[in-house]
Structure 1
Amino acid sequence: MKFITVEVDTVRSINLHTYNSLQFFYKSASGEPLGCTLPAIWGKLATSSSFHQRTEMIQEFNRSNKWGKRGISRVPVTQEVNVRPTPGKVSNLRDGSIVVEVGRVDMGQGLWTKVKQVAAYGLGLIKRDGTEELLEKVRVIQSNTLSLIQGGITGGSTTSESSCEAVRLCCSILVERLTALKEKLIEQTGTLEWETLILQMKSSLQLNQSSSRKLDPLQLHFRVRFLEYYLWYPFCFTIFISHAMHAYQTSVNLSACTLFIPEPASMHYLNYGAAVSEIVLIDFIFTNGEDVALQVEIEGSYVQGIGFFMFEEYPTNSDGLVTANGTWSYKVPTLDTIPKQFNVEILNSRRHQKRLLSSKASGEPQLILAVSVPCATRAAIVEARRQLGSWNGVVESNSTAFQLEVPAIMPVVKEWCGLDSVEKFLQWTMGTK
């Protein structure tokens, strides 16, 4: 069996996707040439993480230490995602509070936080610098299949993106409805308070509803008789009609519901990212638009990926049934799984005008990038096996001839490093004397 001696990072750099290769593999999802940011991310990450300098430092460390080995790995990712139609609903209540509903589920990915921010941003356009003021007034409630009948599934990393766009569309409708009265209110009072604006709309709406309610024939008869009787109050009657007409003209529906349907050009697109892992140090660059994808979700997805690749072993019995029934035997990421130093950079690419704030999906692509952790672990194992091979007289190329399965749990890592390394070292020491 023969193995190439080229460094794995060199192989990845040679085979990095170009726009031409993306067109071949992903066709229409490849987008515009300027949107292919993977080569730029790859080079930028090498610079920002000092990848090549750290690689040399790690090599020097491994040469100088017999019992401690380090590894480093740089990994790119290109993932195609699909945006699905998503409903949303935004309602303004009488007290000025804002209620938002989306057809998807918040399962820890921060969906409701993002939706809340977008609602405040969208309605804040009615007033300069109004986003921060409105943020405290927004609350998200869980929808059901009656309030939003086209909820769909939660998954595919595009739930937040599509839900936020649905909410933004609702806010645009409401802002358009509120703009006319806003200008009139400013002319009358010189100021604009959100509660006053909403209360004015509510009052106008209630007056309009009371003046335009349909009457049955008997009610209509008595109403006509009543007006005939009081016709000698023409001034009061005129005032009533005037207010009724004004209410009809200014009344606004303070609830908006939309179904966001992505355009064909933006329904499929590619996500790019890259990560460098050095066991205790993580450097991360991911492409995105404005800060819709929260950094905390990126970090959380990455840590979840570390759990998948390094801890979460699912033992089975002879029948193929999983025997782990709790965290005693099934290890999930915990607080000490988070890297001591975790550098995350979001590359702001504003070229995606067809998507919400030029944003891209966050979630699964970052989880996949956590594969850099077992790759860095494998690099450290290779150094340990080379050290062991020097004591055994084994050919160096054999030190890389092993398959590190996932999850790379600690007992497996120790076994590949050599459980008898101390004995081999002592035998080698005695033999050289």
Structure 2
Amino acid sequence: MAGGRHPMKISYNVGFKSNGKITALHLDILINAGISADISPTMPLNMLGALKKYDWGALSFDIKVCKTNHSSKSAMRAPGEVQASFIAEAVIEHVAPNLSMEVDFVRNINLHTFNSLYLFYEGSTGEPLEYTSPSIWDKLVRSSSFYQRTEMIKQFNRCNKWRKRGISWVPILHEVSLRPTPGKVSILSDGSVVVGVGGIGLGQGLWTKVKQMAAFALSAIQCDGAGDLLEKVQVIQSDTLSLIQGGFTSGSTTSESSCEAVRLCCSILVERLTPLKERLQEQMGSIQWDMLILQACMQAVNLSASSCYVLEMSSMKNLNYGAAVSEVEVNILTGETTILQADIIYDCGQSLNPAVDLGLIEELLFKELGFLCSKNT
């Protein structure tokens, strides 16, 4: 009733050279916001981040958020960015046939260099070595056997009249913003650990990553049993009284920011516990985690710490890169479409939990397939 993507109407004018290089793009975008504002005021900014993933040369736009008598659309994964990425690909796929060129060639020639990336995303680009989109594409070509499969598909299409196959690749560029994030870690008398963070678990693995970070950071105390802390860690749902300044959960950065807030808390606790641990080791030779915490309670060591992770303004934004290759088969008679293979490479930096991140990538693949299928029906 309230979910889904914002409907839009898009008109555009695009200029390009005979070699496929796009020189200018103007967009007129009308966003159907429904009867109430909801998340809609943020849509133009979200869309621009995804639209700029190609070097358009000169880019101009007019985005209007329209109040209508339709139901409002609430926030959904990457609100506005999915539509903007679709718009960018539609422009590329419009230019290519006008030049009798392969779509993938036109995509490749309009990818950003680092210099053009800096012009479109000033303040978010980082260092030249951090621009991994070209290397991602090179790796994806090899891992997906892109060119070999392209030739096989051409042969398949020549031999089949009513079934046709196609393959293409799409680059992904996602601008993220980090926000100040609070955290709180408390160690109970039985050695268990209670963690509270401002972020909300929405299926993105936030609590799993936070638990791992708490166990990892507290293990720095280096006492017996500290290496098995994961089972002792419990993440509880916080509210605005127990943990103020929680903010909102969005933008693909809440898990990482929450983990850093928890790490800062654990560092404070380790610093408080270390002198006691050293004294007990001198007396007993070795000290178990549970015994250390019990002694800390008896000696009135403060076993609760709060923090707020805040970055410098110069590092609040950064860019994430990825690319995907998909091969599909279409039944010309019925319109049935079958996805034969999808290959995805995403630069997620130093992953906190590769299994969770892999699951998120696979989840979003199917989520957007549903978006496109429902749009076409």
**Match status 1:302 vs 2:302:** no
Residues 384-423 of structure 1 mapped to structure 2, 5 A cutoff: 407-409=375-377
Q: Residue 223 of structure 2 contacts residue 288 of structure 2 at CA under 8 Å; is this kept in 1?
A: no
Cα distance between partner residues in 1 of 2:147 and 2:227: 43
Cα distance between partner residues in 2 of 1:21 and 1:131: 49
Quote the offset at 1:169 in angstroms: 0.9
Quote the offset at 1:128 in angstroms: 7.4
- Does the residue aligned with 1:53 lie in a helix, a strand or coil? helix
Unaligned runs of 5+ in 1: 206-251, 314-406, 410-433
Deviation track 1:286-339 (CA, whole Å, cap 9, x = no partner) reads 1123222532122222222222222xx3xxxxxxxxxxxxxxxxxxxxxxxxxx
Structure 2 vs 1, CA of residues 4 and 162 (structure 1 numbering), >3 Å: closer, same or farther? same
2:312 matched residue in structure 1: 263
What do you get for the CA RMSD once the two structures are aligned?
Answer: 1.8
Cα distance between partner residues in 1 of 2:323 and 2:178: 22
Structure 2 vs 1, CA of residues 25 and 195 (structure 1 numbering), >3 Å: closer, same or farther? same
Structure 2 vs 1, CA of residues 79 and 166 (structure 1 numbering), >3 Å: closer, same or farther? same
Quote the offset at 1:17 in angstroms: 1.3
Cα distance between partner residues in 1 of 2:192 and 2:350: 26
TM-score when normalising by structure 2: 0.68
Deviation track 1:355-407 (CA, whole Å, cap 9, x = no partner) reads xxxxxxxxxxxxxxxxxxxxxxxxxxxxxxxxxxxxxxxxxxxxxxxxxxxx2
Whose relative contact order is higher, 1 or 2, with alpha carbons under 8 Å and at least 6 apart? 1
Q: Which amino acid aligns with 2:352?
A: V
Structure 2 vs 1, CA of residues 192 and 155 (structure 1 numbering), >3 Å: closer, same or farther? same
Residues 119-268 of structure 1 mapped to structure 2, 5 A cutoff: 119-127=214-222, 133-205=228-300, 252-268=301-317
- Alignment match of 2:179 (pick from 84, 90, 97): 84
1:46 matched residue in structure 2: 141
Deviation track 1:226-259 (CA, whole Å, cap 9, x = no partner) reads xxxxxxxxxxxxxxxxxxxxxxxxxx21111111
Q: Which amino acid aligns with 2:324?
A: A
Q: Which amino acid aligns with 1:165?
A: E
Cα distance between partner residues in 1 of 2:225 and 2:319: 34
Quote the offset at 1:119 in angstroms: 0.9
Larger strand percent? 2
Quote the offset at 1:191 in angstroms: 2.0
Cα distance between partner residues in 2 of 1:163 and 1:85: 9
- Does the residue aligned with 1:147 lie in a helix, a strand or coil? coil
2:341 matched residue in structure 1: 281
- Does the residue aligned with 2:290 lie in a helix, a strand or coil? helix
Quote the offset at 1:115 in angstroms: 0.8
Q: What is the count of residue pairs matched by the alignment?
A: 268
Structure 2 vs 1, CA of residues 32 and 129 (structure 1 numbering), >3 Å: closer, same or farther? farther
**Match status 1:17 vs 2:112:** yes
Moved over 3 A (4+): 128-132
Decide which structure has the larger Cα Rg and report it: 1
Cα distance between partner residues in 2 of 1:62 and 1:51: 16
Unaligned runs of 5+ in 2: 1-93, 328-338
Cα distance between partner residues in 2 of 1:23 and 1:130: 49
Q: Percent identity?
A: 60
Deviation track 1:82-108 (CA, whole Å, cap 9, x = no partner) reads 101111111100111000101121111
Cα distance between partner residues in 2 of 1:268 and 1:301: 22
Q: Which amino acid aligns with 2:240?
A: T
Structure 2 vs 1, CA of residues 300 and 185 (structure 1 numbering), >3 Å: closer, same or farther? farther
Cα distance between partner residues in 2 of 1:307 and 1:130: 47
Deviates more, 1:118-127 or 1:298-307: 298-307
Q: Which amino acid aligns with 2:368?
A: G
Structure 2 vs 1, CA of residues 49 and 96 (structure 1 numbering), >3 Å: closer, same or farther? same
1:71 matched residue in structure 2: 166
- Does the residue aligned with 2:141 lie in a helix, a strand or coil? helix
Q: Which amino acid aligns with 1:284?
A: I
Quote the offset at 1:6 in angstroms: 0.9
Structure 2 vs 1, CA of residues 64 and 148 (structure 1 numbering), >3 Å: closer, same or farther? same
Cα distance between partner residues in 1 of 2:226 and 2:107: 44
